[in-house]
């Protein structure tokens, strides 16, 4: 049937490559927002009593982290990641700068055909 998805279509190389791209974009966006939040907005809030950037960046980061998490789940299921690899990757997304290291590591392993 047209539009019917099978297990093989979800795990095809093209589907995995698209899921990897979505994950990489979301990891980068969330990582940049987290750095801006921690190193710019929070100090402005606490040192200069300017709460606006903290509120905006905190809310944006929270919502986009949810999308990052979903993109990581999608990729992990398609590429058959280990539970440990998945958990380490999404936890690293909560630590400034480490999110970029985890994204590069996951991407390198995926491109080398290794399991994350």
Q: Which pLDDT score, from 0 to 100, does residue 7 have? A: 55
The 10 Å Cβ neighbour count of residue 52 is 10
Question: Are 85 and 116 spatial neighbours (Cβ–Cβ below 8 Å)?
Answer: yes
Q: Which pLDDT score, from 0 to 100, does residue 53 have? A: 95
Name every residue whose Cβ is closer than 8 Å to that of residue 39 and which is 6 or more positions away in sequence. Answer: 96
User: pLDDT tens digits, residue range 3-44?
Assistant: 555 556 666 889 999 999 999 999 999 999 999 999 999 999
Domain ranges of the chain: 1-112
Report pTM: 0.85
Question: Are 54 and 42 spatial neighbours (Cβ–Cβ below 8 Å)?
Answer: yes
Cα separation of 59 and 73, whole Å? 21
Q: Which pLDDT score, from 0 to 100, does residue 57 have? A: 95
At residue 116, does pLDDT exceed 80? yes
User: pLDDT tens digits, residue range 44-103?
Assistant: 999 999 999 999 999 999 999 999 999 999 999 999 999 999 999 999 888 989 989 999
Q: Tell me the chain's radius of gyration from C-alpha atoms.
A: 17
């Amino acid at each position: 049937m047209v539009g019917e998805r099978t297990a093989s279509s979800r795990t095809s190389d093209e589907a995995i490559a698209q899921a990897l791209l979505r994950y990489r974009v979301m990891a980068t966006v969330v990582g940049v927002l987290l750095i801006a939040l921690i190193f710019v907005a929070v100090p402005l809030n606490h040192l200069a009593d300017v709460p606006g950037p903290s509120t905006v960046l905190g809310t944006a980061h929270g919502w986009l982290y949810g999308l990052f998490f979903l993109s990581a789940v999608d990729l992990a299921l398609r590429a058959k990641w280990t539970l440990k690899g998945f958990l380490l990757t999404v936890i690293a997304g909560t630590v400034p700068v480490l999110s970029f290291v985890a994204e590069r590591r996951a991407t390198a392993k995926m491109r080398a055909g290794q399991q994350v």
